[in-house]
Each structure stands twice: as C-alpha cells, then as structure tokens.
Amino acid sequence: MSKSILVTGGAGFIGSHLCEALLARGDCVVVLDNFCSGKRENLHIPAGALRLVEGDVRQLSQFTHQIGPVDTIVHLAALISGYNSLSDPDDYEDVNIRGLLRVIEYAAAHGVKRILFASSSTVYGNQPGVALSETTAPDPLTVYALTKLAGEHLVRLYSRLAGFSHCTLRLFNVYGPRQATNHPYANVTCKFSYAAANSLPVKLFGDGEQSRDFIYVGDVVRAFLAVLDESREPLYNIGTGHQHSINQLLGRLEEIVGAPVAVQPQPEWPNDIRSIRADTSRFEREFDIRPQVSLSEGLAKTVGFFRTTAGS
C-alpha cells in the first residue's frame, strides 16, 4: 500500500537516493529543502513525480498547503559537520534542534502517523576496540553529535505525548554518488574518491590509521525502507559491522584507478574519533537485512560518479 511521505532535506545526498527508491515503489513523495547543501540536480526525477517545496524546515508550518497531507515524515535536514559545529554551535542548535521541533509540531498538528529520524554514529564518541551497540553509553565529542543525541530524545518524548510512532537510525559513515566535496569537513570517502577520480592529491590528517565503518548509500536507503512500514520503535545502528582504516581506504581507491594518489600530510583533527564500528545485530535480527555493497564495489561506483560529475 503506497504512502504519502515528506522527506526533509530530500535534495541532499542521502535524501535524493531515498526519494528515488520511494517513488520506485509507488509512494507519493514531497521534498522540503532550502538548498543550503542539497541540489536540484540530485533529484533526477521526471517532472510531476514528486512535489518539491523550497523552504527551511524551521518554517515548516508556512508550507502546509504546498505539502498537503502526509502519513510519514523522514527527517534528514540538518547541518552535518562535526568539526564546524564546535566553532559555530548556535547554528547547529538552531537548525538541528529547532528544526526537528518544528517537524514534531507539524506531525502532531497534522495527524502524521510516523517519523523516521536520521541520527549519527558520532553520538558514541571515541570508544575504540569495541563494536558499538544501541545500548552503548553515548559520549558525544562535538556539538553536532550532541544535537543528534538530543534529537533522539526529543522524538521519543514527543511520540508519547502526540501519539505518532517513530524510529531512529544511527547512521555510520555513509558514502556514495552525489556526496558533496566542497567544504573542508566533507566525508573523507567522498573527498578521496573525487581526488582519485580526477588525479588530485589528498590531505591525510594524522597517521591514517583512524578506522571507520563505511556503508554505501544504497544500503542505507534499504534500511530506511525496511523501517518505514513497521510500527516498531527501537533505535537501530545502520552500518556494516566492519571497519577499515583511512590508509586501507586509500589503498582500495588506488587499486580502482590503477594509479597512486598523492598524499599531503596534515596534523590530526582535534577530537577526532580514532576507531568506530557498528554492532548491527539488532537490525539484522529484526529485519533479516544485511549490507549488499562491499567497500570496493561502493568505492568503484563513487569514483565512476566523480569521473563524470564535478564535486560540489
């Protein structure tokens, strides 16, 4: 049975891939995006297939008539740079918390049945050596991570008060085509993929032995689709359960492009997470879904995208 779904931040990296999948399964999709980081060209969708509303999530109530009735809200709109949030905390509080509160208010006022909230693995902070489960105590190291953790609590609290169901997905290091490369805090995977695709040098911060749980955007979309139709309300880690170092990532990219990538050594980021890996057993047990795209396959797709598209 098709649904009517509002995707905030739907013209962004993850959002645009999700919108394509929702439309492919027959859902009615409304995108709200202010194009602060999202791009119109990300929505490679025939005219009339979705409703695109240009606006800021913090003024969501102003767009009621344009949005129309929706069953579900997938909330992806956010400022995402952890490091930038340390020097600009007010904007992160305003967009990530106030914006979420406007979504919650909208849901309560318009009979929305379900909210899916995109959280982040950064809420765990730096806890190397262990696979992080949903019961691991959070230890956020940035204002961005704090806003995501606060968002989880806000959605859970107001779902009880307003009566909508909810689900939070803690996304680990998502990568793939359409990811923006144009700011200094962009995801290392997209920056390195773009550099490898275009024979450019990369800046390597620290010794390169920091490790991450890299998950391809297509597998993240599959996770959103899995929880969309469920009434269950737990918190789920969305990762692969495996970790690779930045040096290993660079090696895979050199294999894909068949050439070395020049490295420019840089000091280590302050408050950098040394190692992070998801325990994905809860999600896999409840939905019997596992990531399908290997790191090498996902990087090859990403490099292919950046060979034909300028990073921005």
**Residue 85 pLDDT:** 66
pTM: 0.95
**Torsion sign over Cα 26, 290, 218, 120:** positive
| Residue range 21-47: mean pLDDT, rounded | 91
In a domain, 183, yes or no: no
Q: What's the structural domain count of the chain?
A: 2
- Residue 200 exposure: Cα atoms within 13 Å on the Cβ side: 17
Pairing mode, strands 244-245 and 173-175: unpaired
Percent of the chain with pLDDT strictly greater than 90: 80
The single residue of 144, 194, 216, 236 carrying the catalytic annotation is 144
Longest CA–CA span in the chain (Å) reads 57
**Residue 46 pLDDT:** 77
* Distance of alpha carbon 50 from alpha carbon 27, whole angstroms: 9
The 3-class SS string of 53-82 reads: EECCHHHHHHHHHHHCCCCEEEECCCCCCH
Max avg pLDDT among 42-51, 75-84, 248-257: 248-257
In a domain, 180, yes or no: no
Same domain assignment for residues 199 and 227? no
User: Over 90: is that where the pLDDT of 271 sits?
Assistant: no
Same domain assignment for residues 165 and 206? no
Same domain assignment for residues 137 and 200? no
Task: Give residue 229's pLDDT band: very low, low, confident or very high (50, 70, 90).
Answer: confident
Nearest to 117 by CA among 135, 98, 103: 103
In a domain, 123, yes or no: yes
**C-alpha 117, offset from chain centre:** 10
The CATH number for 82's domain is 3.40.50.720
Sheet holding 114-120, edge to edge: 50-54, 28-33, 4-8, 72-75, 114-120, 165-171, 235-238
Q: What are the tokens at 207? A: 């010794």
Same domain assignment for residues 163 and 257? no
The CATH number for 198's domain is 3.90.25.10
Same domain assignment for residues 150 and 193? no
Task: Give residue 45's pLDDT band: very low, low, confident or very high (50, 70, 90).
Answer: confident
Max avg pLDDT among 55-59, 226-230, 305-309: 55-59
Same domain assignment for residues 15 and 147? yes
Check if 236 is active-site. Answer: no
Contact by Cβ (8 Å): 86, 140: no
One-letter amino acid for residue 269 of the chain:
W
Contact by Cβ (8 Å): 305, 217: no
- Residue 172 exposure: Cα atoms within 13 Å on the Cβ side: 29
**Structural domain boundaries enclosing 304:** 188-211+243-275+294-308
User: Over 80: is that where the pLDDT of 182 sits?
Assistant: no
Same domain assignment for residues 79 and 226? yes
The mean pLDDT of the chain is 92
pLDDT in tens, 198-219: 999 999 999 999 999 999 999 9
| Residue range 161-181: mean pLDDT, rounded | 94
Task: Give residue 231's pLDDT band: very low, low, confident or very high (50, 70, 90).
Answer: confident
Same domain assignment for residues 73 and 193? no
User: Over 70: is that where the pLDDT of 310 sits?
Assistant: no
Q: What are the tokens at 33? A: 């995006």
**Residue 267 pLDDT:** 92
More confident residue, 112 or 44: 112
* Distance of alpha carbon 90 from alpha carbon 92, whole angstroms: 5
In a domain, 255, yes or no: yes
Same domain assignment for residues 157 and 21? yes
**Residue 286 pLDDT:** 95
**Residue 69 pLDDT:** 95
pLDDT in tens, 95-105: 999 999 999 99
Task: Give residue 273's pLDDT band: very low, low, confident or very high (50, 70, 90).
Answer: confident
Whose tokens are 């797709």? That residue is 301
Q: What are the tokens at 310? A: 């300028």
* Distance of alpha carbon 289 from alpha carbon 126, whole angstroms: 27
* Distance of alpha carbon 15 from alpha carbon 12, whole angstroms: 5
Same domain assignment for residues 95 and 150? yes
Same domain assignment for residues 43 and 67? yes
In a domain, 137, yes or no: yes
In a domain, 134, yes or no: yes
* Distance of alpha carbon 251 from alpha carbon 165, whole angstroms: 43
* Distance of alpha carbon 166 from alpha carbon 149, whole angstroms: 15
**C-alpha 214, offset from chain centre:** 12
Same domain assignment for residues 99 and 225? yes
In a domain, 112, yes or no: yes
In a domain, 182, yes or no: no
User: Over 80: is that where the pLDDT of 184 sits?
Assistant: no
Task: Give residue 82's pLDDT band: very low, low, confident or very high (50, 70, 90).
Answer: low
